[in-house]
Chains A and B, each alone.
Chain A
Amino acid sequence: MRKRVISFVVLLVALSIVLIELFPIMVVIVNGFKRDIDIWSKNPFYFKPTLRSYQLIFTHREFPRSLRNSFVVASLSALVSVSLGSMAAYGLSRFNFKFNDALIFILLMVRMIPQISLAVPFYMIFRSIGLNDNVLGLSLAHISFNLPYVVALLLPFFSSIPREYEEAAKVDGCRTFQIFLKIFFPLASAGIVVAAVFAFLMSWNEFIYALVLTGTRAKTAPIVVNAFLGQYAPLWGQLSAAGTIMLLPVFAVTLSLQRYIIRGLSAGGIKG
């Protein structure tokens, strides 16, 4: 009995912590269904739900395209990072090379370079080769933090696969690349999916490079969401609706990949 009371009290405390913690997110979601006039009103819970803001952002001059840009950039940078990163992680975990440990050490270290430190050189390099305001250029910039991250996440996955599997495959006459594709890729598929999804999310959330390296055509959704703030009248309703859409992949990832979240976080952080 006493035990049940305690666990009930713990539940209540935990529940209130979660509710307080999620309050700002609820504010965003709820405001997406309000008219701006209701957002400014004193009572946050009294309003008539409307889809007006959603209607506005999907007919908005820039938002749909920026959403598509975000999706393309995040997919492209995740795809390239995972292809090259998983090959590199396999190579680093399996083949003996003099500078192996040094390479691993450097790759693990550089995944934490602050984006702003590379923003200035990226801006200048891209401007001189015509990659500014270009979806491809922005994807390249995103690969710079995603690729080392993918290697960092996958190294332990690959190292933990027993050598016997590849010995057996070798006996069966598999060549190295076949071993990689047919044995390692499936065995490490959980890790590879996690790496891909996290890489996608890091690109999806990224702001600095998008701010510095894009102008009009390659703008991503976070930039446009910020622009809803406007110079004179902040469009909080549209901002919240757009923000809610940006949050959808975030919710999907957090709730479906809980098991891997700590691994993913400690491998590289998620900040933009």
Chain B
Amino acid sequence: MQSSRSMVIDPKKRGRFLAPFFVFVLPALIVVGAILAYPVIYALAISLTDRELLYLGKTNFIGLRNYSEMIRDRNFWHSLSLQLGFIAIAIPIQLVIGLFVAILFNREFPFSKILRSLLMLPVFVLPVLSGLTWRLMLQPSYGVLASFFNSISLGPIAWLADTRYAYVAILLQDIWRMWPFMFMIIYAGLSSMPSEYVEAARIDGANFFQRFWYVLLPYLKSVIATAFLLRMIDALRIFSEVYVMTYGGPSNATMLLSLYIHKQAFEFGRLSYAASVAVFLLIVALFISYFVVKRGLRGEIE
């Protein structure tokens, strides 16, 4: 941090500088410690025991047995693969739509500002409400979307009750809601690009595709990477929209990791086992988050 470096501190005065530091930072640190660090440690601790929701007897320390069960559990691997599939399918589609709409909006046209802000709305819509709305629209008998798919002879499909289509449905929901996030981030990057870059390429005779491939994409590379990482963490956290659309069903077809954890803990009452999976998810999220922060730190703080 350049601000602190630029300040030379006399060792005798150091105490005086530290006192206000503690006054300002310590309250937040205590709260973060109490409601973030402590629960994380607690989760780690109970993941090493055999704690159950309704069992009131003695809780035993069982070491890593929960984790070894997790590794042997086919349902866990199934959930993990659904999660990876989500990242591999939804995010690239969102990226492509976002990229092209950002390029479209990167020129002057009437009402562009208001249209741009309207596009952002879905990102902020409650995931619960979004999930419920998609559930309504995909109702085979009276849903608007279902009838539309019907009319282009894709149906009739019981979208959320069919193991093949339920996963597609939650992908559709997420793609709909979150591609504008990609759009916004890419648009911001694009509008900070000096117009000379594209002009120079145009004068050199580059066509649209060449300008896109050799000028725009390289310029947007780091923006896209950051947006991708942020969406990856989001994809790990997906819960409420799937909870209300399918609750992981039919027969585990949409049982993403967070739903798997919820089900193990609060339906089967296996708190310790759920805590182990939760710790696994936490570690993966922190791992990705590490890269986001490393990338962003330069721009964000200095």
Contacts and interface: CB of A to CB of B under 8 A. Distances in A.
B32 A270 contact: no
Nearest to B237: A114
Decide if the interface of chain A is mainly helix, strand, loop or mixed: helix
A116 B239 contact: yes
A125 B181 contact: no
Sorting the interface of chain B by its residue count into under 10, 10 to 19, 20 to 34 or 35 or more gives 35 or more
Given A22-B121, A121-B42, A27 B271 contact: no
B277 to A, nearest CB: 9
A140 interface: yes
A87 B25 CA distance: 6
Contacts of B240: 207-208, 211, 222, 272
A14 B120 contact: no
A255 B113 CA distance: 11
Contact of B123 (A109, A113, A265): A265
B62 interface: no
Contact of A104 (B101, B142, B185, B301): B301
A96 B1 CA distance: 10
B25 A103 contact: yes
A120 B27 contact: no
A108 B24 CA distance: 17
Contacts of A27: 133, 136-137, 144
Contacts of B184: 261-262, 265
A116 B35 contact: no
B177 to A, nearest CB: 9
Interface in A175-231: 176-177, 180, 201, 204-205, 207-208, 211-212, 222, 225-226, 229
Given A11-B111, A243-B129, A121 B35 contact: no
Which of B117, B124, B230 has its CB near the most chain A CB atoms (within 10 A)? Answer: B124
Given A24-B130, A27-B137, A112 B36 contact: no
Nearest to B179: A21
A44 interface: yes
Nearest to B22: A91
A159 B25 contact: no
Contact of B226 (A18, A109, A266): A266
A94 B3 contact: yes
Contacts, number: 316
A86 to B, nearest CB: 9
A41 interface: yes
Decide if the interface of chain B is mainly helix, strand, loop or mixed: helix
Contact of A95 (B17, B121, B127): B17
Nearest to A161: B3
Contacts of B130: 24
A90 B23 CA distance: 11
Given A120-B265, A144-B39, A28 B133 contact: yes
A143 B266 CA distance: 23
Interface in A120-176: 120-125, 140-141, 143-144, 147-148, 151-152, 155-156, 159, 163, 176
A226 B132 contact: yes
Contacts of B120: 254, 258, 261
Interface stretch (B67-75, B157-165, B195-203, B286-294): B286-294
Given A84-B28, A208-B240, A243-B132, A10 B104 contact: yes
A8 B109 CA distance: 7
Given A155-B301, A222-B126, A124 B28 contact: no
B88 interface: no
A17 B125 CA distance: 18
A31 B28 CA distance: 44
A17 B111 CA distance: 13
Complex A-B, nearest 6 residue pairs according to Cβ-Cβ distance, in ascending order: A91-B24, A88-B28, A207-B240, A95-B21, A121-B39, A91-B25
Interface of A: 7-8, 10-11, 13-15, 17-18, 21-22, 24-25, 27-28, 31, 39-42, 44, 80, 84-85, 87-88, 90-97, 100-101, 103-105, 107-125, 140-141, 143-144, 147-148, 151-152, 155-156, 159, 163, 176-177, 180, 201, 204-205, 207-208, 211-212, 222, 225-226, 229, 234, 236, 239, 243, 246-247, 250-251, 253-255, 258, 261-262, 265-266, 269-272
